[in-house]
């Protein structure tokens, strides 16, 4: 970005986790709104915000030169739309300004995992000086991404950002603008900006929260594999549609690996002190989260019933009845995505189960 625009800066930030494939259909992205007081510092700054539509808090630590209010404009919109990203960030959500070159490690953290997050980048690098300044965002190798949109900005023109020729894990620009979309499920995103250039900005957005942190393999619609647990469950006598175990089962296999039986009416928590990535495999079984509905609507396997749950569910952006896996510092939690009205909470407000749920899932879980 040009020196004289120093007072007009930046944008927000993204975060990631996961292993899901980015589809080709454009859809709404909910962009972070940066509102909390900002600590400006070349290496130890901080900022806070939220993605209100997803009930998500977003925190950022690293280089913060300035919180840019109502700037940039994120226009023309075609520069910031592409792939599954159907809308540009709104300027009213503010942005975070960077210069790079100070050795900071920048980290965005989400209060819950999100899928396929998008990072909007504005005015990266400078094309006016000869031969220009090629500034960059360098991501971790475990954060696969695609540049899905790019072009000139409404403020300074320029061109699209691009994958750096000398580093497939970095995005470069000479007055570059556009969208980087990550593939997978993320609780945080980490990067560095090794090249100094006077002012560029970013923000982050997501389509929705993560439901399951890995691929669910071959869920059995009516039964369970006998090899998962040797002992069959003892079923509650007051559950009449599906066998609902009296209690959950967690078998530690060592090396962060577990076999889990999750009754639909309970919540299972696994110790995860460092908040490491959780991966689910071999999930199968059947649950009913609304026994008043026909079985084809109120019952399903771990992938859910195919419909977005909506505001009345614990995870509004997830699928009704789906297996939900969330990780936060201290623990990884597994549950069925049920209606909030049926949630059972402890005195401290934590969720312990659901009334009216029947059935169970069995799965393998690995804490990486």
Q: Give domain status of residue 214, yes or no.
A: no
pLDDT of residue 26: 61
Domains identified in the chain, total number: 2
- 264 shares its domain with 142: no
The rounded mean pLDDT for the chain is: 84
Q: Give domain status of residue 9, yes or no.
A: yes
Residues 2-33 pLDDT 10s = 432 332 233 333 333 333 333 344 678 999 99
Q: Give domain status of residue 133, yes or no.
A: yes
- 83 shares its domain with 197: yes
pLDDT of residue 18: 30
* 351-354 vs 343-345, strand pairing mode: antiparallel
Q: Give domain status of residue 225, yes or no.
A: no
- 361 shares its domain with 270: yes
Q: Give domain status of residue 243, yes or no.
A: no
Domain end: 206, 240, 265, which one?
206
- 194 shares its domain with 338: no
Within a 13 Å sphere around the CA of 268, how many CA atoms are in the beta-carbon half? 24
Domain end: 172, 189, 206, which one?
206
Of residues 310 and 158, the one with the higher pLDDT is 158
pLDDT of residue 272: 84
- 255 shares its domain with 199: no
Q: Which of 103-107, 267-271, 294-298, 336-340 has the lowest mean pLDDT?
A: 294-298
Residue 69 pLDDT exceeds 80? yes
- 186 shares its domain with 268: no
- 54 shares its domain with 187: yes
- Yes or no: say if 337 and 320 are a contact pair by the CB < 8 Å rule: yes
- 94 shares its domain with 191: yes
pTM of the model: 0.56
- 262 shares its domain with 133: no
pLDDT of residue 231: 62
* Domain span holding position 326: 249-367
List residues bridging with 97 in a β-sheet.
Answer: 201
- 63 shares its domain with 189: yes
Q: Give domain status of residue 153, yes or no.
A: yes
CA dist 324 → 17, 180, 278, 304 (Å): 15, 26, 11, 10
- Pick the closest to residue 149 from 89, 210, 70 (CA basis): 89
Give SS3 for 80: helix
d(CA 7, CA 5): 5
Q: Give domain status of residue 118, yes or no.
A: yes
- Pick the closest to residue 116 from 154, 73, 86 (CA basis): 86
Q: Give domain status of residue 231, yes or no.
A: no
- 29 shares its domain with 150: yes
d(CA 40, CA 155): 24
- 202 shares its domain with 253: no
| Phi-psi region at 93: left, alpha or beta (left = phi > 0; alpha = psi -120 to 50) | alpha
Provide CB contacts within 8 A for 83, sequence distance 6+: 22, 24, 26, 146, 148, 149, 179, 181
- Yes or no: say if 121 and 161 are a contact pair by the CB < 8 Å rule: yes
Average pLDDT of 109-138?
91
Domain end: 206, 230, 265, which one?
206
Residues 145-185 pLDDT 10s = 999 999 999 999 999 999 999 999 999 999 999 999 998 88
């Amino acid at each position: 970005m040009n020196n004289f625009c120093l007072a007009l800066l930046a944008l927000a930030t993204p975060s990631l986790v996961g292993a899901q494939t980015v589809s080709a259909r454009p859809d709404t992205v909910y962009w972070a709104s940066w509102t909390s007081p900002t600590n400006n510092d070349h290496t130890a700054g901080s900022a806070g915000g939220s993605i209100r539509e997803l009930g998500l808090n977003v925190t950022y630590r690293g280089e913060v030169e300035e919180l840019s209010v109502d700037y940039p404009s994120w226009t023309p919109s075609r520069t910031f739309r592409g792939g599954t990203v159907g809308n540009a960030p709104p300027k009213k959500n503010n942005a975070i300004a960077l210069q790079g070159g100070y050795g900071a490690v920048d980290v965005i953290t989400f209060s819950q995992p999100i899928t396929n997050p998008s990072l909007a980048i504005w005015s990266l690098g400078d094309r006016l000086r000869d031969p220009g300044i090629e500034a960059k965002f360098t991501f971790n190798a475990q954060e696969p991404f695609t540049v899905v949109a790019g072009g000139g900005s409404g403020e300074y023109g320029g061109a699209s950002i691009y994958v750096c020729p000398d580093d497939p894990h970095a995005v470069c620009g000479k007055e570059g603008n556009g969208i980087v979309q990550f593939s997978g499920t993320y609780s945080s995103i980490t990067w560095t900006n090794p090249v100094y250039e006077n002012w560029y900005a970013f923000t982050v957005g997501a389509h929705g929260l993560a439901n399951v942190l890995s691929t669910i393999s071959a869920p059995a619609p009516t039964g369970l594999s006998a090899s998962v647990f040797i002992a069959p469950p003892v079923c509650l006598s007051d559950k009449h549609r599906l066998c609902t175990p009296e209690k959950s089962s967690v078998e530690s296999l060592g090396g962060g690996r577990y076999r889990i039986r999750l009754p639909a009416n309970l919540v299972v928590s696994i110790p995860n002190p460092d908040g490491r990535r959780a991966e689910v495999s071999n999930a199968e079984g059947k649950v009913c989260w609304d026994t008043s509905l026909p079985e084809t609507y109120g019952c399903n396997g771990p992938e859910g019933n195919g419909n977005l749950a909506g505001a009345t569910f614990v995870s509004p952006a997830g699928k009704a009845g789906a297996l939900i896996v969330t990780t936060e510092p201290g623990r990884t939690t597994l549950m069925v995505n049920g209606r909030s009205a049926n949630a059972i909470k402890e005195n401290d407000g934590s969720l312990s189960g659901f009334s009216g749920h029947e059935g169970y899932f069995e799965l393998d879980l690995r804490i990486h």
